[in-house]
Structures are given as structure tokens and as C-alpha cells.
């Protein structure tokens, strides 16, 4: 996972260099009269409308302290258990832009690698879906930056596999996982998501045109906050005897790849 993190940071750095060096050599048509004859428009737009979508992948950080403390207790995996706090953050989103207002949503997942202990294996994931709104802080035809906030719901997943010969794993103090057995546990969450997002149209466009679009790349820097709203459950119903982890805070950095189209709006 550390190698994955280093590779992703290098990828983001390389992408930022490419974005910074990319220029559009298309000449902008000079301002003309407000009647805009022959399809010509002013060089500067007041705002924009349109839409775009993308999938994303990146690095997420997640370490629910209460859950980790429980997993490191003597009745579960013991103090030698090491939690993996780096996850792959992946998913997809789509948005409509209405005069700089962004409305849309998407879904995501934080997936960690399997974590091994002397008595078993832990599998962990955290994800869900959300609706999102935002405002475009800055936009020119090829590039924009937006601040966004979302609200939705999700699930924390914990899978316990007991690989020992004779030692039960008491993730639940009332329903242990016995040797050669495994069990999956789920807990519902309310999700809040906050993002600073930058997008670039990577393909060539005609900046003199009122409508434009193409392939888009971007970087998202943000965080997801999860608040528990349900008890732990497995495939058969509610499970007692498991400490309830509190609020989860998970920052992320991710690369987005997608496309979209936009339209300029002028002052006159």
C-alpha cells in the first residue's frame, strides 16, 4: 500500500506538470457588438452552464480509533495487530452546472488491503453515496475550480476470518468467530463530504465558440465525515457485544478522468 501511495503521488505530480504546461493556442475573437453577428461573441463570459461526469481513483486515509483499539484488545487480535490506515479511494460522480452552481452526486469506496494477525485476517471497507452541491469559484473555458459539499449515507464493513487452530476471535463478545470460520459485519453511517475540485479540459477547443467541451482531467482534495446511525449487523441481523466506533474522518486526494460540455453566458 505504501508503494501505491508513492506511485499515486508521483502520478498527481506528473499530471500537475502536464496541466501547467498545457496551453491553448486558439486565438480569441475580439469583442464585437451586442448583436453578436456571424456567430462571434465577446472574449469574456459572465458565467457558464453545462455538465460533466468522471470516475476517480486516489488515496484515502482512514483510522477509526475506537474500532482499532477494539481490534487490538486481547480477545480479538491482540496488541501486535497493525491497522492499515491507507486505502484506495475510488468511485464515480456526475454534475450539472447552472450559472456556476453545481448540482449532482456520486458514490465512493475506501478499500484497504487485507490485514493479517496471528489468529486471523481482517478485511475492511468504508463507502456510500451522496448528493452534492457546489459553486464554481473560478472558470475560464478550459479550466475551473469549485468548492463542493455533499450529504448521503454509507456503510462500514468489517470481515473477520479465523485462521487459527483453536482460538476464538471475540469481535463480538457474545458471538465469537470460531477457528476455520468467518463472518461479515456492517454498520450504517450518515455521510458528509467536502471537496476542493479543479478540472481541466485536456482536448483542444475553439475558445471563440459559445459551446465547447471534451475530455477532462482533474484533482480533488477533500474529506468524508461519517456519523454512525445504526447498530452492527451481520447477514442474519443485529449483532450485540461490539463497541460502537464514533465519528469517522477520512481525507482523500484523487485523480478524476471524464468529460463534459459547457456553454458561455455573456453580460449582454
Number of domains in the chain: 1
The per-residue pLDDT for 1 is 52
| pLDDT over 70 (residue 119) | yes
Q: Would 41 be classed as within a structural domain?
A: no
Q: Helix, strand, or coil here: 17?
A: helix
Residue 6 has pLDDT above 60, yes or no: no
Predicted confidence band at 17 (pLDDT cuts at 50, 70, 90)?
very low
Q: What pLDDT band is residue 258 in, cutting at 50, 70 and 90?
A: very high
Counting Cα atoms < 13 Å in the Cβ hemisphere of 156 gives 26
Q: Could you tell me if residue 70 is inside a domain? A: yes
What share of the chain in percent tops pLDDT 70?
84
Per residue in 27-84, pLDDT tens?
A: 444 444 444 554 555 557 778 899 999 999 999 999 999 999 999 999 999 988 999 9
User: Mean pLDDT throughout 91-109?
Assistant: 95
Distance of CA 222 to the CA centre of its chain: 8
Cβ pair 126, 167 in contact under 8 A: no
| 258 Cβ contact partners less than 8 Å away, ≥ 6 residues apart | 52, 53, 54, 55, 215, 216
Q: What is the pLDDT of residues 208-238, one digit of tens each?
A: 788 889 999 999 999 999 999 999 999 999 9
Q: How far is CA 156 from the centre of its chain?
A: 15
Question: Residue 185: inside a domain, yes or no?
Answer: yes
pTM: 0.81
Sorted by sequence, the CB contacts under 8 Å of residue 78 that are 6+ apart come out as: 72, 117, 118, 119
Look at residue 206 in the predicted model and tell me its pLDDT: 82
Domain membership of residue 142 (yes or no) is yes
| 124 located within any domain | yes
pLDDT at 4: 46
Tens digits of residue pLDDT in 167-212: 999 999 999 999 999 999 999 999 999 999 999 999 988 877 888 8
% of the chain surpassing 90 pLDDT: 67
Q: Tell me what pLDDT residue 149 has.
A: 97
| Domain containing residue 210 | 2-15+49-262
Q: Is 90 exceeded by the pLDDT of residue 246?
A: no
Q: What pLDDT score was predicted for residue 43?
A: 55
For residues 245 and 124, what is the distance between their CA atoms, to the nearest angstrom? 14
pLDDT band at 23; cut points 50, 70, 90: very low
pLDDT confidence tier of residue 141, bands split at 50, 70 and 90: confident
- 28 within domain boundaries: no
User: Per the domain annotation, does 216 fall within a domain?
Assistant: yes
Say yes or no to pLDDT of 131 above 70. Answer: yes
The verdict on residue 181 lying in a domain is yes
CATH number of residue 175's parent domain: 2.40.160.20
Please tell me the distance from the alpha carbon of residue 213 to that of residue 215, in angstroms, as a whole number.
Answer: 7
Distance CA 54, CA 37 (A): 36
User: What integer best gives the mean pLDDT of the chain?
Assistant: 85
Amino acid at each position: 500500500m505504501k508503494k501505491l501511495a508513492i506511485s499515486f503521488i508521483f502520478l498527481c505530480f506528473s499530471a500537475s506538470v502536464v496541466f501547467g504546461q498545457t496551453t491553448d493556442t486558439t486565438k480569441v475573437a475580439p469583442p464585437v457588438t451586442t448583436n453578436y453577428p456571424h456567430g462571434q461573441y465577446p472574449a469574456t463570459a459572465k458565467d457558464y452552464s453545462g455538465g460533466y461526469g468522471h470516475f476517480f481513483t486516489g488515496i484515502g486515509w482512514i483510522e477509526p480509533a475506537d474500532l482499532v483499539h477494539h481490534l487490538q484488545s486481547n480477545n480479538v487480535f491482540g496488541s501486535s495487530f497493525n491497522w492499515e490506515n491507507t486505502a484506495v479511494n475510488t468511485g464515480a460522480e456526475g454534475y450539472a452546472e447552472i450559472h456556476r452552481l453545481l448540482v449532482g452526486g456520486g458514490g465512493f469506496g475506501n478499500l484497504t488491503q487485507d490485514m493479517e494477525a496471528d489468529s486471523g485476517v481482517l478485511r475492511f471497507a468504508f463507502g456510500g453515496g451522496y448528493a452534492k452541491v457546489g459553486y464554481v469559484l473560478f472558470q475560464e473555458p478550459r479550466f475551473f475550480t469549485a468548492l463542493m459539499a455533499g450529504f448521503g449515507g454509507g456503510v462500514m464493513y468489517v470481515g473477520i476470518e479465523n485462521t487459527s487452530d483453536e482460538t476464538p476471535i471475540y469481535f463480538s463478545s457474545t458471538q465469537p468467530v470460531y477457528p476455520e470460520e468467518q463472518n461479515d459485519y456492517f454498520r450504517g453511517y450518515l455521510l458528509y463530504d467536502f471537496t476542493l475540485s479543479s478540472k481541466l479540459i485536456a482536448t483542444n477547443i475553439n475558445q471563440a465558440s459559445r459551446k465547447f467541451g471534451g475530455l477532462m482531467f482533474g484533482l480533488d482534495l477533500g474529506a468524508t465525515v461519517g456519523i454512525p446511525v445504526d447498530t452492527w449487523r451481520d447477514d442474519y441481523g443485529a449483532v450485540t457485544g461490539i463497541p460502537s466506533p464514533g465519528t469517522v474522518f477520512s481525507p482523500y486526494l484523487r485523480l478524476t478522468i471524464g468529460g463534459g460540455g459547457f456553454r458561455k453566458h455573456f453580460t449582454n
